[in-house]
Amino acid sequence: MFDFFAAAVCLWAAAYHTPPGALVLGAIAKLTDTRTNARPLLAYYSGGVYESQTIDTPAELLDLPQPGLLAAIPQGPAIGRGVFATLKKGTVEQRKLANALATRYSIDLSLLDDPSRGPELCGVMIARAQADLGSEDAAVADFAAQRARSENRALELQVLAQQLPPSERAAVDSASRALTLGTAYALAWPVPSRTRVSSPFGYRDHPTLGRQQLHTGVDLAVAEGTEVHATSGGVVRRASEDGVNGRVVIIDHGRGVSTAYCHNSRLRVVTGQTINAGDVISDSGNTGRSTGPHLHYQLELAHQAMDPFLFKSAHSVDALVLAPKPPPPAIVPAVLPKRPNPKLLDALKVSGLDPTVVDGGLHEPDRQSPPHATEF
Amino acid sequence: MATPSAPALTRISSFFGYFRWLFMPLGLMALIAVGVHAAADTVDDRLLWLVQGLDAWMDGHFARVDALQRWVDRIGSRETTLIARALTLVWELLADGVLLLPLLGYREAAPSAFKRETWRTLLQRLNQQPTPMRLIRPIVTGIFALAGAYAIARMVDGALFISLRAGVAPDAIAQPLARAIAFLAFLHVSIALGWRAVLRALQHADSACTPVAAAATAAERLALLSGQKKPTRAKSPWTVGLVGSAIAVPLALAALLDALPLWSFFR
Ligand SMILES: [Zn+2]
């Protein structure tokens, strides 16, 4: 009889926690014409916690008052904004989770929804939970945190989620959305924040194909050789060159957030390198499918390209970029030809304000793009 | 009052005993499947790095040819992640195929003529002819059994803690209680099912390595009976099952490295 229980427990675990189990459950559901709560097969691997999400752009957050004191928004308040934005979407599980946390830290439940106080209070709540439990991720799954700590594993949601029973699926989903958004809110800007945008994010008319095409990032008109800063810490997932993106750096910030920096003239990092927020990762340039010196900056949440400006609203000044840094690099003269090309000198003089400069990185070139300043 | 309950218990236990032929092989398969998945889950990140490196390398070459440039755009981070996950999934399913199918042949109540087909005789033959399959399969199965038992215990811990805490017991009680029960579950699953899976893997390897000429041995007939062994097999016992082992061994190493933090029960 004890053997039976052992076998039953094994079957339960295999059915809900392995792809073969999902296959079997799916087949049974099909045969009996019922529904199953088995996840998609590929979501059974660690990163699936973040990547099974579709992130809605939290446009309503743009109207929020800025935390004026904070330059680059610190991680805690940023996560608070992420939690707030997810609460707005209002799944019951997320709400329950947030209410439980709020009650524990004596925060007025009714204020959590308040557009002016909510993000800040969510931030306070997460910060306290972090102090208690060791990580922001742990705040959303505090039980699992104790266990993960005893295993000496990172207190990351994707680790914690493995320790939770299937019934907690919805809570994990909303927590992952909050953490993804929060991580995106904590991003700084790769170049001085007043840099002109020569081509914004979004659909634009393609001059030759005559159809709309998505521009998956923003083109920032910077002179060749401008230092490009990592907008947050992470691991370099790619530092390579190809004919489309030119010399490109892609950084994985974790929690389903990654940023790409295309058309650089020189890369200063290598694949696999761990970097901190604000580190210089490259010198901008005009490599790849590009019509002039600029930086194509791209933000992806759960592999979905997003307008970086939606997450820039949190920053009032370019603190990260203007933080104490070595004087302007000697790289600009170095890339000039022996007899300076007058056109290039012009471009340098106006310091990247030429609105016709756009790129072909991750999209087709578009010379008719109007000058566009999307600065907030 | 204890006497009337005793026959009831016996009846229940004989009821379960009657279905052992069904739930024991299924339980063994489930245990190993959980272990294999725990290992595969730790491998997928490494595969992702490989695929991304390959993608970066291919982008560098494709982009030189105009006609191929579209592929640079098309294979993005979503695609590389999907490819890496799909590869992991295929690997996991292959390993499942290699290790799980033999477990289907698990039989406890062998006819008395085969009774002496035990650990002792199996290990004797392993000692006489330590072929890769005889050595590797039981060890790999054992590792996955432990990793599976550990993952299952962790799930028991989580489910128990969350239901205990829902108004029944304060954290101070629920936490150690859930963990103690989870540890018992780990021991129980590894002892009740783990060693049986290892024994069955050894049996299967043994019968696969036994030449056809010796078909009169008990193991051979047992294997024939359970449908595990096709009567015609002329392969050398030293090379048999190498492909399957090559699929399973890296995953077992990953399980050993990353999926078996046993000490965590005692922290
Ligand atoms: Zn662009």
- Residue A334 confidence (pLDDT): 30
What single-letter DSSP state applies at residue A294?
B
Same domain, A24 and A64: no
**Which residue in B13, B33, B175 is closest to A14 by CB distance?**
B33
The pLDDT confidence band at residue A306, using thresholds 50, 70 and 90, is confident
Residues A344 and A233 in one domain: no
| pLDDT tens profile B109-121 | 554 444 445 666 6
Q: Which residue has the higher pLDDT, A68 or A16?
A: A16
Which range, of A342-346, B71-75, B189-193, averages the lowest pLDDT? A342-346
Is residue A324 a contact partner of residue A292, using CB atoms and an 8 Å limit? no
> Which of B70, B77, B164 is the best substitution to test chain A (most A C-beta atoms within 10 A)?
B77
List CB contacts (< 8 A) between A165 and chain B. 155, 158-159, 162
Nearest to A106 by CA among A89, A128, A134: A128
Beta bridge partners of residue A248, listed in sequence order? A240
Q: A170 and A69 share a domain?
A: yes
**Cα(A320)–Cα(B192) distance, integer angstroms:** 58
Residue A205: inside a domain: yes
CB A317 within 8 A of CB A276: no
Q: Do A30 and A73 share a domain, yes or no?
A: no
- pLDDT at residue A268 in the model: 93
Cα-Cα end-to-end distance for chain B: 42
Average pLDDT (A311-340) is: 38
CA distance A216 to A218: 7
pLDDT of residue A249: 93
Residues with Cβ within 8 Å of A255's Cβ and at least 6 positions away in sequence, in order, are A50, A157, A176, A179, A180, A182, A183
On whether both A183 and A68 belong to a single domain, the answer is yes
Residue A1 shares a structural domain with residue A148: no
CB contact under 8 A, B161 and A143: yes
Chain B hits for A2, Cβ within 8 Å = 188, 192
Distance to chain A for B236, nearest Cα, Å: 32
Residue B68 vs residue B24, higher pLDDT? B24
In DSSP terms, A264 is beta-bridged to: A247
> How many DSSP H helices and E strands does chain B contain?
10, 0
pTM score: 0.69
Q: How far is B112 from chain A (nearest CA, A)?
A: 23
**Average pLDDT of A286-295?**
87
Least confident range of A22-36, A284-298, B221-235? B221-235
CA of A216 to the centre of ligand 1 (A): 7
pLDDT level of residue A282 (50, 70, 90 thresholds): very high
- Number of structural domains (chain A) is 3
Q: What is the mean pLDDT of chain B?
A: 74
CA angle B63, B65, B69 (to 5 degrees): 45
Rounded to whole angstroms, how far apart are CA atoms A74 and A51?
24
pLDDT digits (tens, 9 = 90+) for A82-109: 777 766 665 665 566 667 777 777 777 7
Q: Which of A105-109, A317-321, A331-335, B85-89 has the lowest mean pLDDT?
A: A331-335
The pLDDT tens digits of the residues spanning A35-55 come to 766 667 777 776 666 766 666
Nearest CA to A41 among B231, B102, B92? B92
A235 and A305, same domain (yes or no): yes
pLDDT at B137: 82
Confidence check: pLDDT of A289 > 90: no
Classified as helix, coil or strand, A38 is coil
Query: For position B202, what pLDDT does the model report?
Result: 78
Q: Which of A84-88, A133-137, B31-35 has the highest mean pLDDT?
A: B31-35
Would residue A140 count as lying in a domain?
Answer: yes
CATH number at residue A243: 2.70.70.10
Instruction: Using a CB cutoff of 5 Å, list residues around ligand 1, an ion.
Output: A 217, 219, 296, 359
What is the pLDDT, as a whole number, of residue A204?
75
Q: Cβ separation of B154 and A303 shorter than 8 Å?
A: no
A125 φ, ψ (degrees, to nearest 5): -60, -50
Q: Domain containing A336: what range?
A: 59-187+323-363
B215–chain A nearest CA distance, Å: 33
Cα dihedral across residues A239, A242, A245, A247: positive or negative: positive
Min mean pLDDT across A99-113, B27-41, B184-198 is at: A99-113
Under an 8 A CB cutoff, do B193 and A10 touch? yes
Mean pLDDT of A183-207: 80
pLDDT of residue A42: 74
Looking at residue B112, its pLDDT comes to 42
For residues B69 and B59, what is the distance between their CA atoms, to the nearest angstrom?
Answer: 8
The span from the CA of B45 to the CA of A272, in Å, is 13
Q: How confident is the model at residue B158 (pLDDT cuts 50, 70, 90)?
A: confident
A375 within a domain of the structure (yes/no):
no
Choice between B238 and B115, residue whose per-residue pLDDT is larger? B238
Answer yes or no: is A68 within a domain: yes
In this prediction, residues A175-188 reach a mean pLDDT of: 78
3-state SS, residue A241? strand
Residues A101 and A246 in one domain: no
Q: Please report the pLDDT score of residue A38 as a whole number.
A: 67
Q: Between chain A and chain B, how many beta carbons pairs sit less than 8 Å apart? A: 185
Residues A10 and A89 in one domain: no
Query: Is A317 within a domain?
Result: no
Kindly tell me if the per-residue pLDDT of B134 is higher than 50.
Answer: yes
Residue A73 has pLDDT above 60, yes or no: no
User: Do A26 and A117 fall within a single domain?
Assistant: no
Same domain, A254 and A272: yes
Using the predicted structure, report yes or no on whether residue A32 has a pLDDT greater than 50: yes
> Where does the pLDDT of residue A353 fall: very low under 50, low under 70, confident under 90, or very high at 90 and above?
very low
Q: For residue A313, what pLDDT band results from cuts at 50, 70 and 90?
A: low
Q: Are the C-beta atoms of residues B191 and B182 closer than 8 Å to each other? A: no
Mean per-residue pLDDT, B169-183: 78
Cβ–Cβ under 8 Å, residues A233 and A253: yes
- ipTM confidence: 0.73
Max CA separation in chain A (angstroms): 89
Higher pLDDT, A131 or B267: A131
Is residue A329 very low, low, confident or very high in pLDDT (cuts 50, 70, 90)? Answer: very low
Interface test with A, best of B46, B57, B59, B150 (most A CBs within 10 A): B59
Q: What does the pLDDT read at residue A317?
A: 36
Which of A24-33, A167-176, A265-274 is least confident? A167-176
- Whether A118 shows a pLDDT value over 60: the answer reads yes
**Which residues, 6 or more positions from A37, have their beta carbon under 8 angstroms from its beta carbon?**
A166, A169
- The answer to whether residues A269 and A336 belong to one domain is no
In a domain, A117, yes or no: yes
Q: In what order do the strands lie in the sheet with A266-267?
A: A227-229, A280-283, A266-267
The residue extents of the domains of chain B are: 19-266
CA distance B241 to B226: 18
Phi, psi of B223 (to 5 degrees): -65, -40
